[in-house]
Structure 1
């Protein structure tokens, strides 16, 4: 899926994280268009009402109100119209058991949110580059967690 421009959807309830993400996209070399939702219920409503225009990639936070990222991942992967959507988990936590569960549930990659802006830019660009080179297919487990 090597493209010159990607339509991204960010599902994250933290306003500061959303702002940093948007600012990072403005500074990377890959062209993007970003939409945002701020909780799991809003995410699922957005996806189901935009079936004919799904994003190229969903960046999904795990800790969201109303419906968390793991619940959303389950729902997406169990929906025939949505299950092919590439999902990059984008979360502050890095619990090995949860990461294993996310891998088993077919998330594309896992990114631990970096605290530094330059690292955020690097890891987003790296995620889009590596994922697109592999047609957004899930890598081996050893390469599932992307570092800045």
Structure 2
């Protein structure tokens, strides 16, 4: 049985935020989407233990705390390290990819240029995590 996910999108680009909202609406998904414009805002959201997301979609290139720094912070936190964190980025840099895997991310998704491809990728990611057993812990 699929679960409605609480998704935390950590993204500083307003167009990317609107694209994610549009995609969830287009796919008629019941997931809730909470937004943080940077890593600092996301950490503030995560302080509320009653509203922990099921997954985090994380951009790498952000002001204040970048995606890799944010990932290191949450993976070092006993209360947060279990949250699946999927990098959603335009960076195809191998160094970024390897650093994210070493740090404990759950996936690395390149944002495609074509919207239709973006929709397919987001649909696949959200479908997988809505049936994954880890989120029941």
Q: Which residue of 2 aligns with 1:144?
A: none
Q: Which residue of 2 aligns with 1:142?
A: none
- Residue 73 (structure 1) aligned to one of 64, 71, 74: 71
* Pairwise CA RMSD: 1.6
Cα contact 1:21–1:120 (8 A) shared by 2: no
Superimposed CA distance per residue, residues 30-84 of structure 1 (whole angstroms, 9 cap, x where no aligned partner): 4211110101111111111x22221111100001101101010000000011110
Distance in 1 (CA, whole Å) between partners of 2:73 and 2:92 is 22
Q: TM-score, normalised by structure 1?
A: 0.84
Distance in 2 (CA, whole Å) between partners of 1:100 and 1:136 is 23
Q: Which residue of 2 aligns with 1:19?
A: 18
Distance in 2 (CA, whole Å) between partners of 1:117 and 1:136 is 29
Point out 4+ residue stretches in structure 1 off by more than 4 angstroms.
none
1:97 Cα deviation after fit: 1.8
1:3 Cα deviation after fit: 3.0
Q: Which residue of 1 aligns with 2:114?
A: 116
Gaps of 5+ in 2: none
Q: Which residue of 1 aligns with 2:33?
A: 34
Q: Which residue of 1 aligns with 2:81?
A: 83
Distance in 2 (CA, whole Å) between partners of 1:42 and 1:113 is 22
Task: Specify the SS of the correspondent of 1:89.
Answer: strand
Cα contact 1:62–1:89 (8 A) shared by 2: yes
| Total equivalences in the alignment | 135
1:128–1:136 Cα change, 3 Å: farther
Cα contact 1:4–1:30 (8 A) shared by 2: no
Q: TM-score, normalised by structure 2?
A: 0.90
